[in-house]
Structure formats: structure tokens, C-alpha cells
Structure 1
Amino acid sequence: MVGERRINGHLLARLVGPDAGGRPYYRTLGRAVSGLILDGRVPTFTRLPAERDLAAALGVSRNTVTAAYTWLRENGFLDSRQGAGSWTVLPDGGTSSGVLLPRTEHVDLGVAAPAAVDGIQHAARLAVDQLAAHVGGIGYNPRGLPELRHAIARRYVERGLPTGPEQIFVTGGAMHAVAMLMDMLTEPGDSLLMESPTYPHAVDAARRLEARVRTVGVTPSGWDMEHVLDAFRRIKPAAAYLIPDFQNPTGVLMDDEERAAVAAEARRAGSMLVVDEGVAELAIDSGDLPAPLAAHDTDGRIFTVGSAAKTFWGGLRIGWIRTTPPMVERLTSARQRLDLSSSLLDQLTVTHLLADTLRIRAERSRQLRRNRDALVTALREHLPGWEFTRPSGGLVLWAGLPRAAATALADSAAEHGVHLAPGPLFGADGTLERRVRLAYTHPPEVLAEGVERLARAWAQTLSRPARPGSGLYV
């Protein structure tokens, strides 16, 4: 892996930013680069530019860059070999792995799963009533129930993306869709471009397929588009997995111009795009939303993944893929290795809910705005040193800690009855120890109590000596 990723002096200088005025400057530079590594914006095992090149890009002496690289090596962020250059690493103990499992006995800020919407029981009763029309058949619909495929296609049309039911393939949830697409679009050893941070189960799926995961950073301000487009040019990945709508976990929204640029660069690179729209319907603040990324598709290389889980309820295991009709047929054939069909009853239920999407979206938006604002207020009161950007949609808030201690905080939080998702869970290589993801799917009073407990857990974390992260948390 060493040497396969590179970053040039111009791009690293831009990511470092202007001189913040700290002295000596070599230490300021070293800390800036280590921060980029910890935040996942410069992945581990990335070859750094030659000292001369970075010095020229920054407008400083080569001795300054040499001293900064030495500081990075001494602090465990850089490894070097004579004749092979220097590449980024993490200090010992800077990794974390885990699973996102709910803890019913805790205030759960870790799992972004809202309760069922009003009307779901009525939709389920209507679905049961319709079973009589289906029980005479075999019950299998490998492409998906025709009524549901029509309803999903109609929703894309309402969002401004012309779509026919023959372009829809129904799956057993979003992750089923993502796993199927990664399996179809990549071979072992292929490069697969992903954001960092990103949804951890998608990274797991890529690794199970033995894809070579390559990352581009996403910050609370959004995508560094120069870095993203440069990655397509350099890596020419077989596929890329992106979350342009209220990205998980940062909550940022890719604008129309950025979507068009990504689609165009993927086309030039010959890369397929897997676009996760799991929370695309969950805008909170008013304003026009960008068109789906697939609106910029000209040759059928964008696969859009949708799901009923976040909009309606996680208990409905229904997802879908919007693609071309020939790819729907390929997916239908490939599905037989995994399963034969999604639940008929769930498909009928989701069909009825899609007919009520506008009311449900408005209801969800009111709930999430109330919850988000309560979380923001509680954080500002009890944890004023934490940094975050108020998300305009989605289910989560990406908070920055004053100290790289996310894994230790998760352990302390559990002792105080709070389930937390530490940043390293969302990185591809153990980074992001300065970040935690907080879900605002609970009512305001629960969130307020959770943050009060979290503040006590943070104080406890600060009082303890730093220690390596644990291997598993729930």
C-alpha cells in the first residue's frame, strides 16, 4: 500500500492553509499536517511531496519543511525509508473498530434510526387487505413488485429526474443494494473511491470484496472538489461510493455545480458511481434542493440507491436501485446468488407510504428540526468547547472535540448511560479521533438529558490519561 497514494505539494499546501501565525512555523506546519491525517483528509500511507516541492508551494525554506517532517516522524505521523520517501501513518493506538448497535438501556446518540412515521399502521393494514390479490401467485418478484417500481419511479419524476419503472430494481434495504452494486462493479484488487468519513458498513462491504479502498476527505464545510476531481484523474477507480445528500456523518450537501463536475470527471475516468440517497428526502431547513446526481448522467454510469428505512421506518427492509433497464436485468440475474425477492408485504406497505410522501416529509422535517435545534442548544450550553456546523438535513451532527479522544469518550459515555459513535468508526483507516457523530432522532427532552450525561463523560475523559482505543463497542 505504501507509495500507491500520493499528494503533491500544491494540494497539500492548500489543505494546510495560510500561515496561522504560530511559531516556530515548522511545528505549526507539522501540527496542521497531523490534523489532516487525523481527520482523514490525507489518508494514511499517502506519500508526501518531496521537501523541496512542499517548500516551494508554501513559500518557505526547505529547512522549515525538513523540520516539520522530523516533527511528524517523532510524533508518529510519518514514516520514511531511504530512497522511498515519506508516507503518513498513525501513532500506535490510533485505531478503532466497532459496530453500530442500539443500546436500549442507554440514551442512544449513536444509531441514526428514527421512529416509524404516523400512518405506517394504516399502510400496513391496506397492504394486508391487498394480499388476497397476490396469494394465488408464487410471491416472488425478483425485480420488485410492479406497483412499487411504478411508485418509486413516480417519486423520481416528482424530484425532477425522468424515470420509468423499468429503471427500478427493488432490494432488501440500502445496504443490500450497495453490496450488490459493489460486487457487480468491482473485481478483487480494483480501486474503489470513497469519502472519508463515510458510512462504515459500506467500507466493510468494499473490504469483503477485496477492493482497494481509496479515500477523499469531506469536511464540515463540504467536499474539497479539487481533491475529489484529482482523485478520479489519478486513481481512475472502477467505482466510487458517494453520499451527496446530507452526507453521513458530516451532514453536508453537495451543490448542483459540484454534482455536475463529479459526474463529468467520473465519465472521463471511466468510473461508475454508486450514489447513496438514503436521507435525500430528509431536508430540515427550507430552500431548493439540488437535483439528484443522476440528473447529470449521460451514459448510464450512475446507480442511485434509495431506501424506506430513514424516511418511513427501519423495520421496512425495502431499498432500491435506479439504473438503466439493461442493468436491472443484470441485477436480477446476480440477485439469485443472494436471495430471490424482497418481502411482498413490506413492498405493498411502502407503495402506500410513497403515495403519502409529501405529508410524511413535512412531518419528518418538523420532528427533525425540533430535535436538531434541541441538540444544538444543549451542546452549546454544556459543551461550549465543541465545534460543529448545524446540519440543514439528515439525521446526524458531526462534532469536533478539543482533544483527540473520541474512542476514550465513547467508553466514558457508556459508563454514564450514553451510546456514542466515535469518529474512527467512520474513517477507512483509524483516523478521526477528534470527531464524534451524534444522532438527533430522539425527542428534545431525551437529547437534553443525553448531552448533560455526555458533558460529565467528557469531563471524566479529560481527567484520565490518554489510552489506546478498545477493539469493539456497542
Structure 2
Amino acid sequence: MTVSVRGVQLARLLGRWHALPARRRSPDYAALASSVRGLLADGRLALGVRLPAERELADALEISRTTVSAAYRELRDSGHLTSRRGAGSWTTLPSGHRVASSGLWMADDELDLIDLSCAALPAPEPLMAAAREAVEELPHYLGGVGYHPSGITELREAVADQYTERGLPTSPEQIMITNGVLHALDLILRLQVPVGASVLVESPTYPNALAAFAARRARISTHGLDEGGWDAELLLGALRQTRPSLAYLIPEFHNPTGHVMPAGLREQLVATAQRTGTDLVIDESFVDLPLDGQPMPPAVASFDRHGRVLTIGGMSKPFWGGLRVGWIRASAPIVQRLAAVRVGVDTAGPVLDQLVAVRLLSRAAEVIPQRRALLAAQRDALVAAVHEHLPSWRVTVPSGGVTLWAELDGPVSSALARAVEPLGVRLAPGPRFGVDGTLERFIRLPFTQPVPELVDGVRRIAAARYDLDRTGRPQWSEPALIA
């Protein structure tokens, strides 16, 4: 089912389109068409969305229908709108252009490379002590077969206790241990999403999640985030209109924008999902990383009374990506069904890694505050460097997580990523975080590197941006992983 946007909703997205500089240089219809193209390029207006009728939009914008009609005609001529008599008009891109969600950056160990494509921290110092303790405890498990499809009991209890401490009572039977957060998502998709089913994601969102949906050949619809985060009316409206099998959302320090979903919307989201028959996969990878001491809203699952919310999380972001331990929190019957699915995939996770995770979680009160202090300092240094060297870029300072989402001074994200690579900087361009080749005005900048590397990286990016308008665009080969 095609998502439609009402006239008042599109008017709110357009904002003060008539006050833009282009408005003074162009006729009204051209300025309106340009503003709609800008919404598409930024991902705030998804592709495949049916726009309001000409008269409805004219009334909402308080302009003539002739102006809207001319703007729609220009959008059709530029390939950004497709119309069919009796069916309406819906958003497209010229020549059906799409960008696949694979072919992402591959992290490596090049010593002279400042890698700003990967949003992950190095291992904390207590990891070695945790590993030694885990090896000492391993003999207790060596008498068994070593297969624990739902995870070892000790780790399931530790994760359940974490949720309970956050005000979300959880039993170990509601926890399944996985080989990382993406593995958790993959198992959920195998169980809950038939091939070709409809799913809803945010735009922008985590690229590797998009790759997982593509592997299931899911029909993806998007909800565009703006500089303030989620538009409640549009998000809930998308759920009601498309009635997807599953919605994947990142409500805590959203990757890549850093937004936090307010408590009221969380409650509305769960209630709407229950009415539409939609399962909610809530990615809490960054929930442990508030940086400014702010209180966190209740977990989305705290509003769930019908088993619609499946929460995923893991050790990668607060601890270390090399420790491939994640988890799923769901109802006990769903955990049992997930374990049955897993037996046909990889049987079980490594016992030793899970023992290391238990020991690290027991040190969370020591490790997490150190991580937060480090990230806060690196975030502030990165923001200051962007303001100094790229003053025309706009960044909203996130209150947690590990990334900045920067709005550039033009739709040059992919070109900039190509141009800066010869200077020894690797970037993840905006379109990698969407499904339709949009988001060229944005780029993600993680603050997980040491301050000197962040500042040096921004200087190199600024040099590449300065040269970009004066030279041809270099060619590049497609890389393979973003974290």
C-alpha cells in the first residue's frame, strides 16, 4: 500500500519555502518544486509517497492551485514525480535511480588512515582481566557439549538484571544471547518476516540493517527524520497506512542522527503497532551512552502488553566490537521459537565469549562512566573542529551515542567521501544510510577516534571540500562495511 501525505503535513515539512533565497530568484512554482526536491534529497520525504491533490496543497500553503499545478509539472519533468490519471502523483527519483544497501566500507588496520566510517571504540582496559577470569571459569562448561542456543544461563541472567535495573522487569527466559546485534536482527527476520513482506525503517538508519532487510527481499518503506527527530503524526500515519509486518527503530541516540525518541511517542508507537499488527524491533545499541547526565525515557518495551516489542542490544558500542555478543529481549515463547530457528543457522554462540561478557558486565559500573567521559570530550572536540574549519555545515550536538549527523553546504556527500580518501580519511557518505540514493546533503561523523585524529580528519575534510568545487570528481571503488 502506498503511503500518502496530506496537504497540512507536506506544508509543515516544507516550512518557510517561500522565504528561501531561491524564492526571490525564481517564480513561485519553481521555488516550490525546488523545495520538494530538497525534501527528497534530504530523505525527509520518502520515495513512493503519494502527494496531496493540487487543490489540497494549495489550500494548505495558501497559494493558487495554478502554482501547485505548475510545480507538480516541473517535478514530473525533472523525474521527481510520477502521475497517473485517477491514481494521483507519487515521489520518485530521475530514471528510477536507487542505491543498494550493500557495498559498504570495510574497516581495516591501515596505520596512516583516519577511519571515520566506523563508529566503534577500541577495547576497554578491563577486557584483559575479564578474559583471564573467563578462561578460569571455562572448565565448568567443558564437561558438557557446549551448545546453548539461547545462551549460557549466567549471561542471560546478567542481561535480564540490566533490564530490571532500568525499570523493565525481565526474567532470563526472556533473553536470548546472539553473536552480535546484527545476528539478533537476522534471527528475528527469519522468524517474523516472510520473504517479500513490508517493513518500515527510519531514514536515515543503520546501513547494515538495510542490508539485512534486502537479504529478506523485504519491501521497505521509510519515515524521514528531520532536525528535531521523529514527526509523530507522520510516523504513526505510516504505520496505519502501510501496516508493515515489522518496524525497525533506534529510539536511543539514533544512528546516525543522535536523536532520542520522547516518552509520549514511545507509548503511542506501541499502541499503534498493536492496532496494525506490527512487530517493533527496537535497537538499543547506544542506550548505555548518554553523555550529558540526562535522564533516559522509559524503554519502549515498558509500554508493551502484547509481546509486540522485541528489543535488541549488545556489547559492541559500550564495550568492544570484537566481542561478538548481542541479545534479544522478547516474550519467553518468542525466545523459544528464536532458539529453534537458530539451530538451523549457527546452533549456538561461543561459550568463552559469553563468559567474557559476563565478567565485563559485572564491571559496567567501572567501564561505562569512563566510556561516557571519553566520548563526551571527543564529541566536543569534533563539534569545535567542524565549527572552526567547516562553518557552513550544520550539526546538532547529540546528547549521547557516538556520532554527529552533519548537514553539508550542498548535495556533495558521496563526492566528498571520494575526494577525501586520497588524503587519508575514510567517510561514510549520507546515501549509505538511506534506501533510495537520497541524503546527499548529509554525512556521518563518529567521535570514537582520539581527539588529535578527529581534528586532523576535519582539517583534511575541509581541504577536500575546498578543492571539490575546483576540480573534477575522482573515481572510486565500492567498499564493504559500515559499523
TM over 0.5: yes
Residue of structure 2 aligned with 1:100, choices 100, 105, 111:
105
Who is 1:89 aligned against?
Answer: 92
* Secondary structure of 1:303's aligned partner: strand
Correspondence list, 1:438-449, <5 A: 438-449=445-456
Q: Does the 8 Å CA contact 1:172/1:317 hold for their aligned counterparts?
A: yes
Any idea what the Cα deviations from partners look like across 1:337-376, whole Å, max 9, x if unmatched? 1111111111000001111112211011011011111110
- Does residue 332 in structure 1 map to residue 348 in structure 2? no
Alpha carbons 1:382, 1:452 under 8 Å: kept: yes
The one-letter code matched in structure 1 to 2:321 is G
Letter in 2 for 1:26: Y
**Paired amino acid for 1:15:** L
Partner of 2:267: 260
| Match among 49, 56, 59 for residue 59 of structure 2 | 56
User: Does structure 1 residue 14 correspond to structure 2 residue 12?
Assistant: yes
Given candidates 68, 71, 89, the residue that maps to 1:68 is: 71
CA displacement 1:75-106 (0-9 Å, x = unmatched): 33223344543222223596545313224331
Give % identity: 45
Indicate the residue corresponding to 1:38 in structure 2: 41
SS of the aligned residue for 1:5 comes to: coil
Distance in 2 (CA, whole Å) between partners of 1:271 and 1:163 is 22
Contact 1:45 1:88 in 2 (8 A): yes
What's the RMSD between the two structures over aligned residues? 1.7
Retained in 2: the 8 A contact 1:440–1:447? yes
SS in 2 for 1:6: coil
Cross-structure match for 2:171: 164
Partners of 1:365 and 1:440 in 2: CA distance: 12
Report the secondary structure of 1:34's partner residue: helix
From 19, 22, 25, the equivalent of 2:28 is 25
Point out the more displaced range, 79-88 or 194-203.
79-88
Shift of the 232–470 alpha-carbon distance from structure 1 to 2, 3 Å rule, reads farther
- What is the distance in 1 between the residues matched to 2:155 and 2:283? 19
Deviation of the 1:220 alpha carbon: 2.8
Once the two structures are TM-superposed, the CA of residue 7 in structure 1 deviates from its matched residue by 2.0
Q: Which residue of 2 aligns with 1:472?
A: 478
Q: How far apart in 2 are the matches of 1:240 and 1:65?
A: 33
- In the alignment, which residue of structure 1 is the partner of 2:185? 178
1:19 & 1:457 partners in 2: Cα distance?
Answer: 31
Letter in 1 for 2:92: V
Asked if the contact 1:193–1:240 (Cα under 8 Å) also holds between the matched residues in 2, the reply is yes
Amino acid at match of 1:472: E
Choose the corresponding residue for 2:232, options 222, 225, 240.
Answer: 225
- The count of corresponding residues between Structure 1 and Structure 2 is 471
User: Residue 247 of structure 2: SS of its match in structure 1?
Assistant: strand
Alignment-derived partner of residue 444 in structure 2: 437
Find the partner of 1:194 among 201, 204, 211.
Answer: 201
Q: How far apart, in 1, do the equivalents of 2:450 and 2:280 lie?
A: 36
Q: Any idea what the Cα deviations from partners look like across 1:357-410, whole Å, max 9, x if unmatched?
A: 122110110110111111101101110011110111111110011110111111
SS of residue matched to 1:223: coil
CA distance in 1, matches of 2:199, 2:286: 22
2:325 is matched with which residue: 318, 324, 327? Answer: 318
Alpha carbons 1:103, 1:419 under 8 Å: kept: no
Secondary structure of 1:331's match?
helix
Secondary structure of 2:225's aligned partner: strand
Find the counterpart in structure 2 of residue 276 from structure 1. 283
CA gap 1:324/1:177 in 2 versus in 1, 3 angstroms: same
Amino acid paired to 2:479: Y
Q: Is the 8 A contact 1:171 1:318 kept in 2?
A: yes
Following TM superposition, by how much is the alpha carbon of 1:466 offset from its aligned partner in structure 2, in angstroms?
Answer: 6.8
Measure, in 2, the Cα distance between the counterparts of 1:127 and 1:444.
33
Look up the match of 1:427: 434
Matching of residues 447-466 of structure 1 within 5 Å: 447-464=454-471
- TM-fit CA distance, 1:428: 1.4
SS in 1 for 2:177: strand
State the TM-score, normalizing by the size of structure 2.
0.94
State the shift of 1:19 in Å. 4.6
User: What's the TM-score, normalizing by structure 1?
Assistant: 0.96
Which residue identity lines up with residue 129 of structure 1 in the other structure?
E
Write the distance in 2 (CA, Å) between the matches of 1:95 and 1:436: 18
In structure 2, how many angstroms separate the alpha carbons of the residues matched to 1:5 and 1:174? 29
CA distance in 1 between counterparts of 2:378 and 2:96 reads 35
Offset, 1:10:
2.3
Cα distance in 1 for partners of 2:135, 2:17 equals 65
Q: Does 1:291 align with 2:289?
A: no
Q: Does structure 2 retain, via aligned residues, the 8 Å contact 1:243–1:277?
A: yes
Q: Which amino acid in structure 2 is aligned with residue 440 of structure 1?
A: F
The answer on whether the counterparts of 2:17 and 2:35 sit within 8 Å (CA) in structure 1 is no
For the Cα contact (< 8 Å) 1:250–1:398, is it kept in 2? yes
The residue type paired with residue 322 of structure 2 is: G
Q: 2:93 corresponds to which letter in structure 1?
A: L
Secondary structure of 1:214 counterpart? strand
Deviation of 1:254 after TM superposition, in Å, equals: 0.7
Distance in 1 separating the partners of 2:368 and 2:226: 27
Note if contact 1:44-1:87 (Cα within 8 Å) is conserved in structure 2.
yes
The unaligned stretches of length 5 or more in structure 1 are none
Contact 2:258 2:400 in 1 (8 A): yes
Residue 112 (1) aligns with residue 110 (2): no
Q: Judge conservation of contact 1:219–1:250 (CA < 8 Å) in 2.
A: no
Shifted more, 35-44 versus 377-386: the winner is 35-44
| Comparing 73-82 and 148-157, the one that deviates more | 73-82
